[in-house]
Amino acid sequence: MTDITDDIAEEISFQSYDDDLGLLFSLFNDVLQREVGPYIMEKIERTRTLSQSACLIRAAGIEGTAEVVEKQLASELSNLTLEEALMLARAFSHFLSLMGIAETHHRSRKTRNVAQASKSCDDTFNQLIQSGLSPDVLYETVCNQAVEIVLTAHPTQINRRTLQYKHIRISHLLEVNDRKDLTQEDQDALIEDLVREITSIWQTDELRRHKPTPLDEARAGLNYVEQSLWKAIPHYLRRLSNALKKHTGRPLPLTCTPIRFGSWMGGDRDGNPNVTAKVTRDVSLLSRWMAIDLYTREVDNLRFELSMNHCSNSLSYLAHDITNKEKYEGERHMRLNPTPKHQSHHVHGLPTQLPAQADAPSCTECTEVESHYPRLDVPGSEYKPLKSKDEQVTSSSKVDLKVNVDGNQTNTVTIQQPLTPKSGSFSPNQLGQKKSFAETQVGKASFRKLLEPSMPQESAISPYRIVLGDVKDKLMNTRRRLEQLLEGLPCDQEPGDYYDSPDQLLQPLMLCYESLQSCGSGILADGRLADLIRRVSVFGMVLMKLDLRQESGRHSDTLDAITEYLDMGTYSEWDENTRLQFLTRELKGKRPLVPPTIKVSPEVKEVLDTFRVSAELGSDSLGAYVISMASSASDVLAVELLQKDARLAVAGEKGKPCRGGSLRVVPLFETVKDLRSAGAVIRELLSIDWYKNHIIKNHNGHQEVMVGYSDSGKDAGRFAAAWELYKAQEDVVAACKEYGIKITLFHGRGGSIGRGGGPTHLAIQSQPPGSVMGTLRSTEQGEMVQAKFGSPVVAVRQLEIYTTAVLLATLRPPKPPRDENWRNLMEEISNLSCQSYRSTVYDNPEFITYFQEATPQAELGHLNIGSRPTRRKSSVGIGDLRAIPWIFAWTQTRFVLPAWLGVGAGLKGVCDKGQVKELKAAYKEWPFFQSTIDLIEMVLGKADSSIVKHYDQALVHESRRGLGDDLRKELLSTEKYVLAVTGHDKLSENNIILRKLIESRLPYLNPLNMLQIEILKRLRSDTENHKLRDALLITINGIAAGMRNTG
């Protein structure tokens, strides 16, 4: 479990969790015995026994004896050879991974077994109706809700995708093991399958040997859609619709989309030079290709299912139009080419193969794991029409699509389609005779008659199959067109022969749906067809719209190049008023600003190329343009101008307007200074007539603002950042309200608490009143994507939680602080906390060296878990270090320092003034304060000062160990004052299951930390030893699995 980022932690049942864990551990022990032998197994057992003993002794409060046992363990581990250390690190890492699999499985199992789960749609709707809410208000609010979950490529997913798949397979086998109807033979086979999977995991390299490219990251994101979200979305919307109908009497409209998905994978270029304009274009086209491929599979299923003839007049007319068009084209082809052209396989709607999953009911899809299934032949129809002479006839038709997507890598997609019949029962002599006969013209004609199924009469027409056959043809044309675009080839399709928008695809599907409903076949309409319509509505033609993100300084550099080329001066040297006047004047003009002949640096050219790609793709494929490190109104208008200029240039070249609309421009406020001025920046923007009119006309009167949790936390500490974020949101909401503009807040949360992580439901419910008015955007990053959306069952639950949390925040907003004094207390705690944090992290000259010595921060770059550099600039200071490695390094040592440093000093300062009673009252009654303290308490429960002490004693220079001693005292002081506010006797007292899960991991987690200390010590005196580096990286993997998060 993550830092309770998983909202369904309380839903784990320990009733059979221990049994499953016992089974997995027993099988893993057997595999280890076979793979590494008795000598290594003895060391593994000895290590586990010592670690378990130390944990039990410490839990009993006998600290001195626990330290003695831990020192014995550390001593024995320090005497291991490198090979032995490597084996132990791998073994304990896999033990923790198996524990994670069992935890995830039992969360989803409990979810399935609870009739009306907490935070479910049914439960929440019932609460709202019981509290007096009108069913009509509930219905309208749900239907108008707009939540977008944005998946990012932030490098916090440490497991290789290969191992993620294997973990999913084990989880799937545990699901099978839950069944009550398994025979002894079934159980034996299940155990064999588990042994095979565990053996495969042990024999698989845990480490990524190459850094992923942005395209690799994008493929990983698309994989979550294909493997999980594709199956989860119809299930989730069906559950939402059923709950809505139960409580309001009306189901969810079929094309209603309360949740959509976005992506930063391939679009986030902030500090990542590997994300280029070409990468963005290719990722967008690849996403479209994947969408079309998935839709094609679903249409195949539907064509097999919808075999009935009775239909509405509208559908009948469409089917006849399609048939007549095919007939006309066939006759025209015959006139132009005497060689017989055989009718398309769908003219009379006859599918010749049973599509994948056609045998499974739609409602079971959510529990499936695999995405590709063997295609089954329909008995008697396995033969396909032979192709005409002008087309090659082979035993299989292969299309090799070589997609050059990143300049140095070619991705080949092979589409294989059998064309010849299966072998019959002929003797070799007979086969030889028939082969000779087939080679003659007479033989070929005879075989055509034998092999091709006879065509039915017009009275037996299958209208649904004809219409869906036409849909499939257009989908195939769309896919070919995308392949040509990816290859840089000219496209040869006419506009009416392919799909360019979701509405074009929805039109025939909705016609089929309405026809089935009007003919009394609603039960069929509401099955696979309804699911496909919902998928098209949610995923559109791109699955996930791609956001672009760039740092504000890059736009200023670009405008510098332009204004200097035009002899207008240097843009970045102008004051804010001068910039705004220039930008507004140019935005009102109708001519391009950037001359086509301009010569610029490669960095500036890349920015201009990005805007050009943005103009070519438009809002049909792209989402928002996010400006990181935004601090002024001119930062926003600069992007609006560069965007407008690119669209004018592209439209002029093509002789027609750019497709789609312009992108939403979203300022991202990250540092404390920028958060404090966020409201003023939005007021400045909305006071400009051009900008306000632009928002109303082009963006439906909606202003989107993003707030960043990572850099604000690194800048001021978690507590101060949380308060500044709260105030910034209040101010931005007020600013938009003053100008009559709607607001959508975009939350840039990370997975860990130090980067704004926390349970989705709690996070949304503790936002400032009025900040969530039916709309919300939020990032999900790295390992959080896998944890929340890695399996369809868990994904359905998370989507419900998003829906219900936003619904409650809209209809029952969280309470503001009851007493104005509470705000004053927060202000005082925040200031004291920030001062304490910055005095340690930024003002103490010894701190940066202590950080580098006491943590594996310098070695994290070898993990190859992300395409972007760990630093924005080449300096060694904390300021330019990215938030992820900053958090990641401290999480590895179990200090988790960024999440709590400064909090103790802030609480102590207020408590010492006699304000404990007020703090307790605020904790009980103010959701924001309660959630902030709860998250800090939870992360303190994961911190372990005894383990941190081992790192300091072994790795930190003696002159700096005093700093470590002071920080560990600060940790204990923070625990003391947090417990004083919550009234708890011990940490995580209000989350017993979380505490039990953490405690159960310690016997496997502690040895990994001690191994990491020993390996770091050796590696720092032998920096070129690659085996030592591998061993270190394996301990990093294992600790991340045990802590259930990275950065």
950 has catalytic annotation: no
Phi, psi of 895 (to 5 degrees): -85, -35
Instruction: Report the C-alpha gap between 30 and 38 in whole angstroms.
Output: 11
761 has catalytic annotation: no
Enter the tokens of residue 179.
């069944």
Enter the tokens of residue 470.
């036409």
Q: Mind giving me the DSSP string for 537-591?
A: HHHTTTSSEEEEEEEHHHHHHHHHHHHHHTTS--GGGS-HHHHHHHHHHHHH-SS
Q: Mind giving me the DSSP string for 849-904?
A: HHHHHHSSGGGGGGG---SS-SBSSS--SSTTB-HHHHHHHHHHTT--GGGTTTHH
Catalytic residue among 43, 94, 105, 154: 154
Instruction: Report the C-alpha gap between 604 and 601 in whole angstroms.
Output: 5
Q: Which distant-in-sequence residues (6+ apart) come within 8 Å of 953 by Cβ?
A: 961
At 331 the three-state DSSP class reads helix
Reduced 3-state DSSP string for 236-302: HHHHHHHHHHHHHCCCCCCCCCCEEEEECCCCECCCCCCCCHHHHHHHHHHHHHHHHHHHHHHHHHH
Enter the tokens of residue 353.
């193969």
- For residues 891 and 236, is the Cβ–Cβ distance under 8 A? no
Closest by CA position to 281, among listed 292, 267, 291, 269: 267
Catalytic residue among 545, 694, 714, 747: 714
CA 565, 569, 575, 579 torsion: positive or negative? negative
- For residues 536 and 505, is the Cβ–Cβ distance under 8 A? yes
Counting other chains too, the contacts that 269-273 makes at CB distance below 8 Å and 24 or more residues apart are: 269/548, 269/549, 269/550, 269/610, 270/549, 270/550, 270/551, 270/628, 271/551, 271/868, 271/869, 271/872, 271/882, 272/214, 272/867, 272/868, 272/869
Cα-Cα-Cα-Cα torsion 308, 314, 315, 316, nearest 10 degrees, comes to: 70
Q: Which distant-in-sequence residues (6+ apart) come within 8 Å of 201 by Cβ?
A: 94, 97, 163, 166, 167
- For residues 380 and 386, is the Cβ–Cβ distance under 8 A? no
Q: Mind giving me the DSSP string for 702-738?
A: EEEEEEESHHHHHHH-HHHHHHHHHHHHHHHHHHHHH
Closest by CA position to 191, among listed 175, 202, 171, 177: 177
Q: Angle at which helices 903-911 and 718-738 pack, to 10 degrees?
A: 80
Closest by CA position to 1033, among listed 824, 859, 909, 840: 859
* Cα first-last separation, the chain: 14
Enter the tokens of residue 969.
């005292």
Closest by CA position to 58, among listed 50, 68, 66, 69: 66
Beta bridge mates, 706: 668, 746
As to burial, measured by CB atoms within 10 angstroms (0-12 exposed, 13-18 middle, 19+ buried), residue 457 is exposed
CA 44 remoteness from chain centre: 36
Phi, psi of 412 (to 5 degrees): -110, 120
Instruction: Tell me 517's DSSP state.
Output: H
Enter the tokens of residue 1001.
């991991």
Phi, psi of 398 (to 5 degrees): -115, 135
- For residues 59 and 1003, is the Cβ–Cβ distance under 8 A? no
CA 64, 65, 68, 70 torsion: positive or negative? negative
Q: Annotated catalytic sites, by residue?
A: 154, 714
